Amino acid sequence: MADIRGMTDWEQLKRLLENQDDDGKTMRIDEPALLEHLQARVKGQDTILKDVARLLRLQAAKQQKTRPIANLLFLGPTGTGKTELAKAIATFLFKEEKSMLRFDCSELNGAHSKDRLIGVPAGYVSSEQGGQLTRPVMASPRRLILFDEIEKAYPPVFDLFLQLMGEARLTEQGSGKAVDFSQTIIVLTSNAHAEQIGQIQREVTDYHDMVNSIKTYLAESKVFRPEIVGRIDRVYVFQPLSGMIIAEIALLKIAKLAEQYRLKVHFVAPELLLQALAANEKVSRFGIRELERILDEMLANQLLQAKDQGAREVALEANEAGEVIVVPSG
């Protein structure tokens, strides 16, 4: 008989079993651990992170689910952490970022958008492939599903959103199978009416009063169909990032870039971070991806050279001209 004692990590298995009930659907979430994970990934939005961690713990523990675990709406300027928070949640709860399905609603703006999500009807070419939304959830039910810029979706697609967010169930057209979304988290993002929302952010200093004011504005301006708003569990408004927060994000991005070359960074000169702060205008216009591109252009070549020279750890200094100097330190 095989000795099974060393065939798995028994302590980890025990923890996993403790995190779910007998039907495999109810999760027990360690709220402090989730919050710590989110705070390590998303900067400048602590009020949101604390509420998200608490909400998900309470929602995931419910025994009977007839809706997704949570339906969340993220509002706020580009580059404030909306997508990063979605990725962080998926990584913690579902163990990998690939468990997140992401759809750009600006690409769901035509007559065939519905077919893309739930598959083409039986009898049509490629009907056996299923939908880009339904088939992955059918294969792996625990997922975070992100719909970016929800306001740009084709109107009939909103009927799918209503069914998805309300009943946690969609029928795939080609196979006719009912797909269960009760173990998913739905995240919608929107930049709609960003100027008006930004004005409310500046005028209302208390966070909860500000969220209520924005929800009232969204309802009165008919940005979203009332039925959609009625199915949203929480509306989170992301604050514009300050210079110091951008510097923190820059440090995280620098560390991540170095890791891609199997390097550790133990010091970054403030002058170099100042250059990242100078990109603040671009960050506000194009999002954090623009900051990543700038840092890649600044550092990638020097980091690779340091790696080729056998370095394992580096310090990033600046010369008198403000140019980057990568100093190997191990």
Average pLDDT of the chain, as a whole number = 84
Residue 224 has pLDDT above 60, yes or no: yes
Better-predicted residue by pLDDT, 92 or 320: 92
pLDDT value of position 280: 61
**How many residues in the chain?**
330
pLDDT value of position 287: 61
In terms of Cα–Cα distance, which of 275, 191, 187, 289 is closest to 240? 191
> What digits encode the pLDDT tens for the residues 18-42?
655 545 567 788 999 999 999 999 9
> What digits encode the pLDDT tens for the residues 244-288?
888 888 888 899 999 998 999 988 888 888 877 776 666 556 566
pLDDT value of position 226: 76
Better-predicted residue by pLDDT, 243 or 145: 145
How far apart, in whole angstroms, are the C-alpha atoms of residue 170 and residue 117?
10
pLDDT value of position 137: 93
pLDDT value of position 111: 78
The pair of three-digit structure tokens given for residue 159, joined into one six-digit string: 């009927």
Residue 323 has pLDDT above 90, yes or no: no
Strand order in the sheet with 234-237: 100-104, 143-148, 184-190, 70-75, 234-237
pLDDT value of position 179: 93
Mean pLDDT of 212-229: 78
At residue 201's C-alpha, the angle toward residues 152 and 251, to 5°, is 85
How far apart, in whole angstroms, are the C-alpha atoms of residue 302 and residue 88?
29
pLDDT value of position 17: 65
pLDDT value of position 285: 60
Confidence of residue 1 (pLDDT cuts 50, 70, 90): low
Cα distances from 316 to residues 257, 292, 307, in angstroms, run 13, 16, 13
> What digits encode the pLDDT tens for the residues 74-131?
988 777 889 999 999 999 998 888 889 999 998 988 878 888 999 887 767 777 788 8
Confidence of residue 330 (pLDDT cuts 50, 70, 90): low
Better-predicted residue by pLDDT, 146 or 21: 146
Residue 156 has pLDDT above 60, yes or no: yes
Mean pLDDT of 190-213: 81
What the chain holds in terms of domains, given with CATH numbers, is: 12-237 (3.40.50.300), 243-328 (1.10.8)
> What digits encode the pLDDT tens for the residues 6-18?
778 787 777 666 6
Cα distances from 18 to residues 26, 167, 182, in angstroms, run 10, 27, 20
In terms of Cα–Cα distance, which of 164, 161, 166, 162 is closest to 181? 164
189's enclosing H/E stretch is strand 184-190
Q: pTM here?
A: 0.78
Confidence of residue 168 (pLDDT cuts 50, 70, 90): very high
Chain centre distance of CA 222: 26
DSSP 46-113: HHHHHHHHHHHHHHHT-SS-SS-SEEEEEES-TTSSHHHHHHHHHHHHHSSGGGEEEEEGGGS-STTH
